[in-house]
Amino acid sequence: MSMKELPTIAQLWFDLDTGAAKAADVIALIRENVALYEKDINAYINLYLDEAEELARSQDSTRYPAGKTPDLAGIPIAIKDNICVKGKPCTCASNILKGFVAPYDATVIERLNARGAILVGKTNLDEFAMGASTETSAFGPVRNPLDPERVPGGSSGGSAAAVRYGGAVAALGSDTGGSVRQPAAFSGLVGFRPSYGRVSRWGLVAFASSLDQIGPITRTVEDAALIYSVIAGPDPRDSTTYPQEPEEMDLTGELKRGVKVGIIKEFFAELADERISEAVQTPFKEAGIDLIEVSMPEVRYSISGYYLLAFSEVSSNLARYDGIRYGLRVSKLGLRETYSASRAQGFGEEIKRRILMGTFGLSAGYIDAYYNTALRYRAALAKAYEKAFSQVDFLLSPTAPTVAYKLGEKIHDPLEMYLGDIYTASNALAALPCISIPAPRKVDGLPVGIQLTASRYQDAKLLEFAHAVERI
């Protein structure tokens, strides 16, 4: 037996609209793929195939006038398990949320539901989305369907793996410093991180609030654009959302003449693997696009700046998991003791490391040296990006400095793991839209991600361009 190839959203929508396919049949294919791969890959924390099938059948029996089928009707989608779905557990792959069932839908879920999408299951992730390999999950690591010895990337590794092995047509992940883009890159998929504020965070369990964005992991840019256009837009429940609706997109796939693509000198200077650099740049050169070198020394500190801010916010956002109201409680005699025991047992090692460092970074006497310095750095970095975008339309870089590595290779060296975010942290800090698409050429037989970044809120332009690049 082998993997049953699933259609893309665009294909499936067309086939469902014309009656050439049935949603229930796609769920049946997914069932087969799950039976075949899930045990080894561990992409899902919870699967809802029966409910999915039921919904698919009711979708199939609904007759829409031709062309009027809702955007995502009958499309099976996997959701990262840090996004709340009403009535379903939301584990964040952590023991501390044991038994917690979300009493409400995230805005993205409401919007997907309103367009007819079908929830296949909730996908595995690094605990609270903190990691780059999906090895820190309390539900065990996820393996890369392309090579089960290797990690799928992270933290949205479950979402990427599910799409990769045909466990869903598309998935939602969340990206704080690369968590959608890097697993997409490691899995040969498209991962899109919208501009900060484009997609409501209501119902997304916070890791670092000022950085978290929900984004799609799909097989094509077109699919990413489709999902984006459904989930994006202002939401009164998230005061940080951008007040304008997403722009219309023109996905013709044509490369616009005179488009200016830049590369950040400092990024490529530091790149160890020449082959990745080549895999990323060659398609552009072959398409006759000159790459304009821009210097942005600020990016050298992006890992430090990113982790300082992210950890500080982690220490605050994860204070609520105290064993009092929901989730795991380890009862001890005193209140303090109950707090300590619940948190000690509920959180994994990486979470504890980040809470400790973040708490330190916000402490009196240190906040100026750490948190506040990082805030100033962030402002300077955003300015530097702005300057770069006065010279070029898009910035090009690899998504990750390596291809998918082996399980266990980096998990015991947190610094090494953090350095994997070198290309995905700075544009996240600057709140920019960025996308990873598979490079045509592989390295060591494994996919390489091409990352494109645009200026803030130019999400539509970025998707249009990425769609064109995808076709080179």
Partner 1 sequence: MPSKESRYEVIIGIEVHVQLNTLSKMFCRCEVDVDARPNTKVCPICLGLPGALPQTNDTAVKLGIKAALALGCKVNLESRWARKHYFSPDLPKGYQITQYDYPLATGGSLDLPGMKRSVRIRRLHLEEDAGKLIHSSRETLVDFNRCGVPLAEIVSEPDIASALQADAYLKELRLILRTLGVSDAEMERGHFRCEPNISVRPRGQEEMGVRSEIKNLNSFKAVREGVERAVEDQIAWLEQGKEIVQTTYLWDEKARELRPMRVKETAADYRYFPEPDLPPLILEQSEIDEIKESLPELPAAKRKRLFKEGLSKQDIQVLSQEPEWEDYFLNLLEKGATVKEASTWLLNEARGIMAERREGLEEFKVPVEEMVNLIMLLRSGELTRPAAKGLLEAMAEKGRGAKELMTRMDLGAVSDSGFLEKVARKIIDANPEPVQRYRNGKTGVIGFLVGQCMKELRGKADPNAVREALSTLIAKED
**Alpha-carbon separation of residue 435 from 102, 133, 185 (angstroms):** 30, 19, 10
Q: Which residues have CB under 8 Å from 134's CB, separation 6+?
A: 124, 125, 126, 141, 142, 151, 152, 153, 154, 155, 156, 157, 158, 161, 183
Q: Please measure the distance between the N-terminal and C-terminal CA atoms of the chain and give it in whole angstroms.
A: 33
- Contact residue for partner 1 among 20, 35, 287, 324 (CB under 8 A): 324
Is 179 among the catalytic positions?
Answer: yes
Piece of 41-49, 237-245, 283-291, 414-422 that binds partner 1 (CB under 8 A): 237-245
87: left (phi over 0), alpha (psi -120 to 50) or beta: left
**Alpha-carbon separation of residue 423 from 132, 286, 387, 436 (angstroms):** 13, 23, 18, 11
Residue 100 binds partner 1 (CB under 8 A): yes
Is 304 among the catalytic positions?
Answer: no
Residue 363 binds partner 1 (CB under 8 A): yes
CB of 379 to partner 1, least distance (A): 13
Residue 333 binds partner 1 (CB under 8 A): no
Residue 106 binds partner 1 (CB under 8 A): yes
CA atoms within 13 A on the CB side of 444: 12
Task: State the Cα torsion 29-54-142-130 to the nearest 10°.
Answer: 140
| Closest among 28, 174, 199, 23 to 110, alpha carbons compared | 199
CB of 358 to partner 1, least distance (A): 9
Residue 232: DSSP 8-state: B
Q: CA 112, CA 174: separation in Å to the nearest integer?
A: 15
Is 390 among the catalytic positions?
Answer: no
Residue 114 binds partner 1 (CB under 8 A): no
Strands (E), 37-189: 44-47, 76-80, 118-123, 170-175
- Contact residue for partner 1 among 312, 399, 455, 458 (CB under 8 A): 312
CB of 68 to partner 1, least distance (A): 33
CB of 434 to partner 1, least distance (A): 20
- The pair of three-digit structure tokens given for residue 52, joined into one six-digit string: 């999915």
420 and 375 Cβ atoms separated by less than 8 Å: no
Amino acid, single-letter form, for residue 376:
R
- Contact residue for partner 1 among 238, 247, 270, 278 (CB under 8 A): 238
CB of 209 to partner 1, least distance (A): 4
Residue 335 binds partner 1 (CB under 8 A): yes
Residue tagged active-site, from 94, 133, 155, 312: 155
Piece of 2-10, 145-153, 318-326, 402-410 that binds partner 1 (CB under 8 A): 318-326
Residue tagged active-site, from 94, 137, 179, 312: 179
Residue 306 binds partner 1 (CB under 8 A): no
- Contact residue for partner 1 among 240, 244, 252, 391 (CB under 8 A): 240
- The pair of three-digit structure tokens given for residue 456, joined into one six-digit string: 């803030």
Residue 172 binds partner 1 (CB under 8 A): no
Residue 209 binds partner 1 (CB under 8 A): yes
Closer Cβ to partner 1, 187 or 315, answer by number: 315
The binding site for partner 1 (CB under 8 A) comprises 82-84, 90, 92, 97, 100, 102-104, 106, 201-206, 208-210, 236-240, 312-313, 315-316, 318-320, 322, 324-326, 335, 339, 359, 362-364, 367, 371
Catalytic residues: 80, 155, 179
